[in-house]
């Protein structure tokens, strides 16, 4: 039995206990435990994605030397054609 299956089994048992140990609702409790586990897994996955994005943004800021600062107004930038060659 995997850790995930064991966690789901324990959660289904807890739901069964919380609902007064009613007989005949095994499938309902198991399904609820499964849905809760899926939500938890998705939230964990979402958090990992956010963490990776944050790390990559910090790496890019260091590489570009911006240190997370917002760039100045667009008027600070001049097109290449406006820069004189002197």
pTM of the predicted model as reported, rounded to 2 decimal places: 0.51
Say how far residue 58 (Cα) sits from the centre of its chain. Answer: 17
Query: Which H, E and C letters describe 30-76, residue by residue?
Result: HHHHHHHHHHHHHHHHHHHHHHHHHHHHHHHHHHHCCCCCCCCCHHH
The pLDDT, as a whole number, for residue 66 is 66
List, for residues 33-78, the tens digit of each pLDDT value.
999 999 888 888 888 888 888 888 888 877 777 666 666 565 666 6
Task: Tokens 């956010």: give the residue.
Answer: 50
The pLDDT, as a whole number, for residue 35 is 92
């Amino acid at each position: 039995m995997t850790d995930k299956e064991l966690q789901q089994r324990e959660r289904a048992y807890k739901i069964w206990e919380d609902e007064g140990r009613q007989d005949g609702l095994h499938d309902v409790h198991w399904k609820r435990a499964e849905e809760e586990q899926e939500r938890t897994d998705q939230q964990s996955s979402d958090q990992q994605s956010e963490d990776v994005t944050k790390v990559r943004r910090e790496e890019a800021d260091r590489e570009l030397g911006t240190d997370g600062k917002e760039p100045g107004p667009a008027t600070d930038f001049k097109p290449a054609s406006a820069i004189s060659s002197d």
